[in-house]
Copies of this chain bind each other. A is one copy, B any other.
Amino acid sequence: MTRSRQLTLTALPGIPLINQGDDLAALIEQALAGESLSLLDGDVLVVTSKIVAKAEGRLVELSGVQPSAEARSLAAETGKDPRLVEVILRESRGVLRKRPGLIIAEHRLGFICANAGVDHSNVRGEGDTSGDWVLLLPESPDASASALRDRLEHESGARIGVLIIDSHGRAWRHGTVGIAIGVAGFPALVDLRGEPDLFSEPLRVTQVGLADEIAAAASAVMGQADEGYPVVHVRGLPYELQEGSLGELLRPEEQDLFR
């Protein structure tokens, strides 16, 4: 008789609005303690990119942005603020699609998403509530995830994984889903090629985007509109933790049929 498996996702209350320089690891530890949760080997913490970016001071006030000719042209095509478009272009390797209201770009980190992840909602400058602020994604989400993991592992003694997630739209389907943009200590892609199937015949190619599955799961329990649940604790992952990175999940342009 096989045993049941249980995956438990706990959205942590008590994470305050984050400002530049805030110590996320300490805030997460406090939130865990508030739930009487001690980190154990194999646990995973999923953190929204937004609070990581805010702690890293990735806010930009649009009045200080000088749009280039390219940004002005793309702004005219899409009906967006030329200064916002300038920020998007600075965060991008290139624009895949554009139409009124929509810019889909390859982010400089290699993933494809709307507006290169530049966020115009739930953003306000510190001590400046009048400006028009936008928030970039973290500079290097893998590094941010690693730094968080190192702190939390050091202080708990447990071996854990950390994912930094954003919400992206998809080709072909309506609705955003949580996806991983930063990975530490977590197998982003699980490669099951060659393992036997139930009838002991070789499986065909099966690679599972495990970090994205857990990102989606965490996003579902966080809810939306930053309701105050930017961190989710995950216990019961039926896979061994190991080193991992965002790069595992990114299909190179030359292998991609949808650019």
Contacts and interface: CB of A to CB of B under 8 A. Distances in A.
A228 interface: yes
A53 interface: no
A13 interface: yes
Most chain-B CB neighbours within 10 Å: which of A12, A228, A251? Answer: A251
A9 B218 CA distance: 12
Contacts of A203: 121, 225
A141 to B, nearest CB: 15
Grouping DSSP codes into helix (H, G, I), strand (E, B) and loop, the A interface class, with mixed when no group exceeds half, is: loop
Given A1-B14, A6-B10, A13-B3, A226 B197 contact: yes
Given A210-B220, A225-B195, A257-B99, A250 B5 contact: no
A175 to B, nearest CB: 3
Interface in A128-171: 167, 170-171
Contacts of A213: 177-178, 216-217, 219-220
A69 interface: no
Number of copies of this chain in the oligomer?
Answer: 2
Interface string A176-204: 11110000000011101001111101011
A208 interface: yes
A20 B226 CA distance: 46
A197 B121 contact: yes
Contact of A10 (B4, B173, B189): B4
A219 B217 CA distance: 10
Interface in A87-111: 97, 99, 102, 104, 111
A248 interface: yes
Contact of A104 (B167, B179, B237, B257): B257
CB-based closest 6 A-B pairs: A175-B209, A217-B217, A216-B216, A171-B258, A2-B13, A213-B220
